[in-house]
């Protein structure tokens, strides 16, 4: 068995039997890792609240090569993001962020940029007012980091810039925008304004440390939601549980 240390965010927890727990982490060095926390429900002293959803930890685990589950040895809380837990809207947002990461990633596929993205967005959620744009920016950056970056600055068919189109449309199947001329004859296109397309493009390109400065209009939020929800559902083949939770809250 090999001992490993890494930064880790709890993205899913599942009680197992009387006293144990299976916890899924997104880690900085190993990507998604599932671990077995023996006695986690009984021994508060050992794990404290480190295994609660969203918590950022310094994690120590033993990698048992013969099993997919690692053995969780120690977990030191770095940030539990308590402000998220005090607000039902923020909980719904947080659940969506971590479920999206869980759903879109495979185990042991390291992606340190994705770890940083999740960490930064949990901080933004914790410190901010729970603005809906957090979800849209997170979605589009996650898609880009996982190789599904939508094509937003030119028409994906004729490669012309979109400045001269009055209307542009997003194709979920093709993963990008079509100009007015190329949109003809296509089914299942989502109309989008040029302003929103540009904003989403900036949301991908902008330095992560400055991302809190970006502001979405109501129109951009609506159009961004329409595009990104369909695009993500196309790749996950199902609606996420937390998406239903968001809808129940009217978001």
- Binding region for Zn ion (CB under 5 A): 155, 157-158, 179, 182
Nearer residue to Zn ion within complex by CB, 85 or 157: 157
- Least distance to Zn ion from the beta carbon of 182, Å? 3
Nearer to Zn ion, 165 or 242 (CB): 165
Residue with Cβ nearer Zn ion (157 or 174) = 157
The minimum distance between CB 199 and Zn ion, in angstroms, equals: 20
Q: Tell me the Ramachandran region of residue 67: left when phi exceeds 0, alpha when psi lies from -120 to 50, beta otherwise.
A: beta
Q: How far is the CB of 154 from Zn ion (least distance, A)?
A: 8
Nearer to Zn ion, 50 or 182 (CB): 182
Q: Which residue in this structure is represented by tokens 């490669």?
A: 159
| CA dist., res. 8 & res. 174, Å (int) | 34
Nearer Cβ to Zn ion, position 181 or 230? 181
Question: DSSP string spanning the chain?
Answer: -EEEEEEEEEEEEEEETTTEEEEEEEETTTEEEEEEETTTTT-HHHHTTTTSTT-EEEEEEEE-TTSSSEEEEEEEEEE--HHHHT-HHHHHHHHHHHHHHHHH--BT---HHHHHHHHHHHHHHHHS---THHHHHHHHHHHHHTT---B-SB-TTT--BSTT-S-EEEETTTTEEE-HHHHTT-SSEEEE-HHHHHHHHHHHHS-GGGGGG----HHHHHHHHHHHHHHHHHHHSS--HHHHHHHHTT-
Nearer to Zn ion, 46 or 167 (CB): 167
**In whole angstroms, how close is the CB of 53 to Zn ion at the nearest point?**
44
Closer Cβ to Zn ion, 111 or 165, answer by number? 165
Min CB(177)–Zn ion separation in Å: 9
Closest approach of Zn ion to the CB of residue 227, in Å? 17
Name the minimum Å distance from CB 183 to Zn ion. Answer: 8
């Amino acid at each position: 068995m090999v001992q490993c240390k890494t930064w880790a965010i709890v993205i899913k927890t599942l009680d197992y039997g009387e006293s144990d727990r299976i916890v899924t982490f997104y880690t900085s060095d190993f990507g998604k890792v599932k671990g077995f926390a023996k006695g986690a429900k009984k021994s508060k002293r050992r794990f404290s609240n480190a295994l609660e959803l969203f918590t950022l930890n310094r994690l120590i685990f033993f990698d048992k090569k013969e099993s997919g589950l690692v053995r969780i040895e120690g977990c030191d809380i770095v940030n539990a993001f308590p402000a998220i837990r005090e607000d039902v809207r923020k909980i719904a947002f947080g659940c969506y962020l971590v479920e999206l990461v869980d759903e879109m990633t495979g185990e042991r596929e390291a992606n340190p940029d994705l770890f940083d993205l999740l960490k930064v967005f949990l901080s933004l959620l914790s410190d901010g007012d729970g603005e809906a744009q957090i979800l849209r920016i997170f979605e589009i950056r996650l898609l880009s980091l996982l190789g599904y970056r939508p094509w937003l600055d030119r028409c994906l068919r004729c490669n012309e810039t979109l400045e001269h189109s009055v209307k542009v449309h997003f194709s979920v199947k093709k993963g990008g925008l079509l100009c007015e001329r190329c949109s003809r004859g296509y089914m299942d296109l989502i109309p989008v304004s040029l302003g929103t397309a540009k904003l989403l493009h900036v949301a991908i390109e902008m330095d992560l440390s400055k991302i809190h400065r970006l502001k979405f209009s109501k129109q951009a939020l609506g159009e961004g939601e329409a595009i990104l929800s369909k695009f993500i559902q196309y790749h996950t083949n199902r609606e996420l549980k937390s998406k239903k939770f968001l809808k129940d809250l009217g978001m």
